Structure 1
Amino acid sequence: MTTVFDLILRRLVQGHPEQLLLLLFGGQTPAFIRMADSSLPQSERRADTVLVVEAHGVRFAVDIEIQAQADPQFAVRLLDYTVRIHRREKLPVLPVAIYLTPEAEGTPPPYGFACPGIRVLTFDFQVVRLWEVDYLQPALQAASALIPLSVLESRAGPERIAWAESRIRQASSLSTEERLDLLVVLGTLASRRFGQERLSQHLRDIMIDSPFWEEQRELVRARVAVQERVQVLHTFARARGIPLPADAEERLAQLGAASLKDLVTQAVTAPDTAAAELRAVLAQQGH
């Protein structure tokens, strides 16, 4: 199923690679050479996008992965992608993680491991946190494909939606199709952060006609379901005398809707077993 993040990649990465490089590198932007094959050799996986660029006479590949939610295996997957792209392109590879929200960010780089007495691997990668970017700086304001991302900026309020919508609609460099796609991205990201009621009627009309509106509604329903189940288990834990750490609700939410539903059902049908599992989840270290 196509998601809004596929749309972001198509319009932002594939349609405007120079603007994406501006977001990643700022004033030290390398020259864009070409798009590279995003399929990975000897693997069924596909990278989000791979660009070949050149800076200071050195040509290298940039592997860009967009993360919308936390993935405990992200660093391992990125390492795998980096090695595969390096072997195919015969170029150095700069791996870049683009995090859409703070919740999407996992363990910071570098990733590595050691055996007794020796450090075997240290793998570093670049991180771009979209909520930390200042989208009002002149260089980025001129990059029309980046405008929808501006609603993710932590300092931006709901008024940013109207500003971004106006800029997209007035961008003469965009085709009708590109403008519509960027408005859909804007509507999806804005409604996720500020709620659907903050969208203009024009933007709501565009969203309703897009395949992403139902996706957005389903995400809202899923978030509500998770919150409700977390609260039920929170109450259950108190009733059973299970210690609740300060981040108990966050730990429970990370289980996901399906696991939470099973645990709530178990709390009714087999409370002793549910209490033991809940105690184990809340006692885990490293969250």
Structure 2
Amino acid sequence: MAFDNLCKLLSETYPDRFATWLLGETPTSIEVLKTELSIEPIRADSVTFLSTPGRILHLEFQVKIETTPPLSLRMLDYWVRLYRRYRLPITQVVILLKPVAEATEIESEFNFEQTRHRYRVVRMWEQDPEIFLQDPALLPLATLAATTNPEQLLSRVAKQVSMIETIEQRREVAARTQLLAGLKFEKGLIRKLFRGEAMRESVIYQEILEEGRQEGRQEGELALLLKLLTRRVGTLPPELQMQIQALPLTQIEELGEALLDFSELADLVAWLQTSQQ
């Protein structure tokens, strides 16, 4: 599963925390929108739509700046579809997870002839880590934040994770933190700082640290896939879970991409039927 899909999972699990971070205020209510915007869904790395009172917050997580179609065109396309459907103000934020080459131009608007559309770009490597270190929901993002001493930052993050009181939440946050840390840090350093017993038991942590073992990789991908599907289409019936668990690794990865276009359980059923054929 992709790093940006993990961020999508975080934003849909803790929409109030992401809205507070990006809008600068805590909304009185918030809803994760589970809807397609057109007959032909847009292919994207990872997109989250949050509905707050009087506003739509559109988050797009990106590891790479180069996309097809171009990111600026996609943002305009999404804005038009969202506004046509909801007729509300829309705040669009592209969150770049990984630094780009120094000479790379990072666009924050679409501009062609008389059409001009702007959106906000957040560079994670320029963000103050303190914003994320104080909140377990955002803690995994702290590994990607600004620092002059990366190892010290990762050590602080590991310490904050170890202070989470409940074992279940600590394991979950540790797994997500280590996965995102893989974008920036060597596995050896991650292993060194996250060596607690509870952290070693994490499925996703095992997937990161194992030396390419196929079985461990598949188990980690499957665990994250099931969580994403639940967020996307609701609780999965036991028979569908068993069907997904029986998929080979290649189809698990394909389903991880396809679920971005799902809006209801029937979409998942149709995909599984097609894959069997």
TM-score, scaled relative to structure 1: 0.61
Q: Secondary structure at the match of 2:38?
A: coil
Give the aligned length. Answer: 202
Q: Secondary structure at the match of 1:189?
A: helix
- Residue 91 of structure 1, CA deviation: 1.7
Say if 1:60 and 1:7 are closer, same or farther in 2 by CA, change over 3 A.
same
- Aligned: 1:44 with 2:48: no
CA contact (8 A) 1:4 1:185 kept: no
Distance 2:105 2:35 in 1: 23
- Residue 182 of structure 1, CA deviation: 2.5
Say if 1:39 and 1:213 are closer, same or farther in 2 by CA, change over 3 A.
farther
Say if 1:217 and 1:89 are closer, same or farther in 2 by CA, change over 3 A.
farther
CA contact (8 A) 1:152 1:193 kept: yes
Structure 1 runs (4+) deviating above 6 angstroms are: 214-218
Say if 1:214 and 1:25 are closer, same or farther in 2 by CA, change over 3 A.
farther
Larger Rg: 1
Distance 1:206 1:33 in 2: 30
Distance 2:119 2:140 in 1: 25
CA contact (8 A) 1:148 1:185 kept: yes
Say if 1:206 and 1:44 are closer, same or farther in 2 by CA, change over 3 A.
same
Distance 1:101 1:207 in 2: 24
Q: Secondary structure at the match of 1:194?
A: coil
Say if 1:103 and 1:109 are closer, same or farther in 2 by CA, change over 3 A.
same
- Aligned: 1:131 with 2:125: yes
- Aligned: 1:79 with 2:76: yes
Distance 1:211 1:48 in 2: 24
User: What whole-Å deviation, never above 9, does each CA across 1:205-235 have from its counterpart, x for those lacking one?
Assistant: 64775445579999xxxxxxxxxxxxxxxxx
- Residue 62 of structure 1, CA deviation: 0.9
> Match for 2:146: what amino acid?
S
Say if 1:66 and 1:213 are closer, same or farther in 2 by CA, change over 3 A.
farther
- Provide structure 2 residue ranges, at least 5 long, that are not aligned to the other structure: 215-277
- Provide structure 1 residue ranges, at least 5 long, that are not aligned to the other structure: 115-119, 219-287
Distance 1:190 1:217 in 2: 20
- Residue 24 of structure 1, CA deviation: 1.0
> Match for 2:121: what amino acid?
V
Distance 1:69 1:216 in 2: 24
Distance 1:70 1:96 in 2: 14
Q: Secondary structure at the match of 1:158?
A: helix
> Match for 2:2: what amino acid?
T
Distance 1:87 1:99 in 2: 27
Q: Which has the higher contact order (CA 8 A, sep 6+)?
A: 2
CA contact (8 A) 1:50 1:63 kept: yes
Distance 1:39 1:211 in 2: 32
Distance 1:207 1:168 in 2: 16
Say if 1:18 and 1:206 are closer, same or farther in 2 by CA, change over 3 A.
same
> Match for 1:66: what amino acid?
F
User: What whole-Å deviation, never above 9, does each CA across 1:21-80 have from its counterpart, x for those lacking one?
Assistant: 222133x444442111253222233661101113xxxx0101100011122511111111
Distance 1:13 1:70 in 2: 20
Matches within 5 A, 1:147-226: 147-155=139-147, 156-172=149-165, 176=168, 178-199=169-190, 200=192, 201-202=195-196, 206=202, 210-212=206-208
- Residue 121 of structure 1, CA deviation: 0.7
TM-score, scaled relative to structure 2: 0.63
Structure-2 residue corresponding to 1:285 = none
Equivalent pairs: percent with the same residue?
A: 25
Larger mean CA deviation between 178-187 and 76-85 belongs to 178-187
Distance 1:106 1:33 in 2: 34
Distance 1:30 1:101 in 2: 28
Say if 1:193 and 1:23 are closer, same or farther in 2 by CA, change over 3 A.
same
Distance 1:159 1:216 in 2: 28
Distance 1:175 1:194 in 2: 25
CA contact (8 A) 2:176 2:204 kept: no
